Structure 1
Amino acid sequence: MRIFLFILLFFVNLFSAQNFENSNIKCNYLTKFLIDTTDSNTKKEEITSLWIGKNISIFKSDQKARYDSLAKESARNSFQNPVNGRVILDFSKIPRAHFIPEVLKIGNKLEIFDKVLNVNYVYESDQKINWTLLNETKIISTYKCRKAVGKYHNKNMTAWYTEEIPVPEGPYTFKGLPGLVIEAYDDKDFFHFTLVKLKNVSELIAPIKNAINTDYQRFLKKRIDYQNDPAGAYFIATGRTTPKELKGKIEKMHRSNNNHLD
């Protein structure tokens, strides 16, 4: 009974909306990225979105937003319709996103939400991009754009921004320029963001709830430990052993998931 009440309170907390702002603008970006930097066949494309409010913004995958919404709906239905007195939560049939991280900006503070072994973590970004503005222009999606370059962790980034939309916003953490970022990519083109649609939208901006607070170095260690020994990390997290016949396949799959924006 106590376990059931704990789960119920968890989901009630999960579903309750926080008092965040509504967006004014929604920007859709076509995001192209590699899962495995050693294999060009692992390239993915996904629509990601940037919701911009007066003092807040959030960037995440549209598919992830749909997954979160459908998962909440499925959980509600499971609680309302238990099977033989049991609440069964099954999200396996909901299509998952490949682009996982989310970025929440409140004022000048950037928080990054990411996952390791289906556990959500949140840490404050300790990387500020010192953009260099260049005297180079081009037209992208009818917008006159100017070029800027900067370094983010170990990636050399190029951003094209437009002063026609004078908001210092952009995909992921690529913000702080004199206009909206229309296109951004790293020098190896492992990640490439291009604006495909912009419209006025009033929607609640709210981040993932119940994420574990950490810092970047601790998060990075967890991710490296998991990639080095996914079966061991799975056992520590769940107490369950990975079947021997699947161990090699699982280790190869997770080690090949090696392309990260940070």
Structure 2
Amino acid sequence: MKYILNFFLIFIFTFIKSQENKTLSELEVKYNFTYVEDTLNKNSLVGEPMILLTNGKQSTYFSENYVKNLEYLKKQLDAPINKGEIRTINFENAPRNRVRHNVYTENNETFISYRMARDTYTFKNTDVLSWTIDNNEKKEILGYKCVKATLKLNAQVWIAWFTYDIPINDGPYKFKGLPGLILKLNEKHGYFNFDAISISKSSQPIEFKKGIMVSKEQFLKKREEYMNDPSQGRISTQEYRKKTEENKKKYNNSLE
């Protein structure tokens, strides 16, 4: 009995310490992320709610629908069933998530993870974000006074609106490096749009959900292989190959 009690006390102490060691957020920012799937068809605009948890030093950014999808499936699995019944899960009502990436930042280092089929690949972001701030351009977003900043990155131009009132160097996806939180971000042609829809206090854990570590070049190669054959060799029919080629032309827009 004494051994069981000691074991129980050790377990409780370990659990409490593990909770204490977790890095907690101070803010939760929700963004409406919209993007054009097919750059040749501006009407192919889709959207998904995204969440940024940040404390100014560490942050994580992920799809809200992905979390809701996991919670839905867990609830289905935990639901009681009668003896002899076969458990069935209704996937039709599960929240659908199109976005397959999440981002983790710590000590000014950003790691981007993408899910492809059953695997998740993580690479370190090496882009240099050289913003140009225009304090003469101003607008109000969610009650905060924001100023304009622009960024040229590769072949794209990004327009951001950030607020000095929240002096946190953070924003959606990999876009950071400004002296205030980014509340609105658009690619110049409207292919990608991030719009903050709420800001609230938060004490949720900030976790690094790391996948298989690769370089960005390795990730791009893996993505190309996946786009060429999503089934990874499990299907090889003329109809499948035709559909794959159609999807490659249709879904041709990516943040990386």
TM range (shorter): 0.7 to 0.9
User: Using a 3 Å threshold, how does the CA distance of structure 1 residues 92 and 42 change in structure 2: closer, same or farther?
Assistant: same
Structure 1 segments unaligned to the other structure (5+ residues): 1-15
- Using the TM superposition, give the Cα deviation of residue 54 of structure 1 relative to its aligned residue in structure 2, in angstroms: 5.0
Q: Does 1:184 align with 2:200?
A: no
Equivalent residue, structure 2, for 1:11: none
User: Using a 3 Å threshold, how does the CA distance of structure 1 residues 23 and 187 change in structure 2: closer, same or farther?
Assistant: same
Q: Within 5 Å, give how 1:195-234 maps onto structure 2.
A: 195-208=196-209, 211-227=211-227, 229-230=228-229, 234=231
> In 1, distance between residues paired with 2:151 and 2:118?
32
Q: Secondary structure of 2:46's partner? A: strand
Q: Within 5 Å, give how 1:74-113 maps onto structure 2.
A: 74=76, 77=78, 94-113=94-113
Query: 1:70 corresponds to which letter in structure 2?
Result: Y
Q: TM-score, normalised by structure 2?
A: 0.81
Q: Secondary structure of 1:35's partner? A: strand
Q: Is the 8 A contact 2:56 2:169 kept in 1?
A: no
Q: Is the 8 A contact 2:60 2:105 kept in 1?
A: yes
- Using the TM superposition, give the Cα deviation of residue 252 of structure 1 relative to its aligned residue in structure 2, in angstroms: 1.4
Q: Does 1:166 align with 2:167?
A: yes
Equivalent residue, structure 2, for 1:60: 62
Q: Is the 8 A contact 2:52 2:60 kept in 1?
A: yes
Computing the radius of gyration from Cα coordinates, the structure with the larger value is 2
> In 1, distance between residues paired with 2:20 and 2:231?
32
> In 2, distance between residues paired with 1:235 and 1:25?
40
Q: Which moved more, 1:179-188 or 1:199-208?
A: 199-208
- Using the TM superposition, give the Cα deviation of residue 119 of structure 1 relative to its aligned residue in structure 2, in angstroms: 2.1
Report Cα offsets for 1:70-116 as digits up to 9, x if no partner.
34555x649x98x98x9999967633212221111112110001123
User: Using a 3 Å threshold, how does the CA distance of structure 1 residues 72 and 154 change in structure 2: closer, same or farther?
Assistant: farther
Between Structure 1 and Structure 2, the one with more strand by share is 2
Identity %: 27
Size of the alignment, in residue pairs?
A: 238
User: Using a 3 Å threshold, how does the CA distance of structure 1 residues 223 and 68 change in structure 2: closer, same or farther?
Assistant: same
Query: 2:217 corresponds to which letter in structure 1?
Result: Q
Q: Is the 8 A contact 1:124 1:216 kept in 2?
A: yes
Q: Is the 8 A contact 1:137 1:144 kept in 2?
A: no
> In 2, distance between residues paired with 1:153 and 1:73?
43
Structure 2 segments unaligned to the other structure (5+ residues): 1-17
- Using the TM superposition, give the Cα deviation of residue 36 of structure 1 relative to its aligned residue in structure 2, in angstroms: 1.4
User: Using a 3 Å threshold, how does the CA distance of structure 1 residues 107 and 72 change in structure 2: closer, same or farther?
Assistant: farther
Of 68, 71, 82, the match for 1:69 = 71
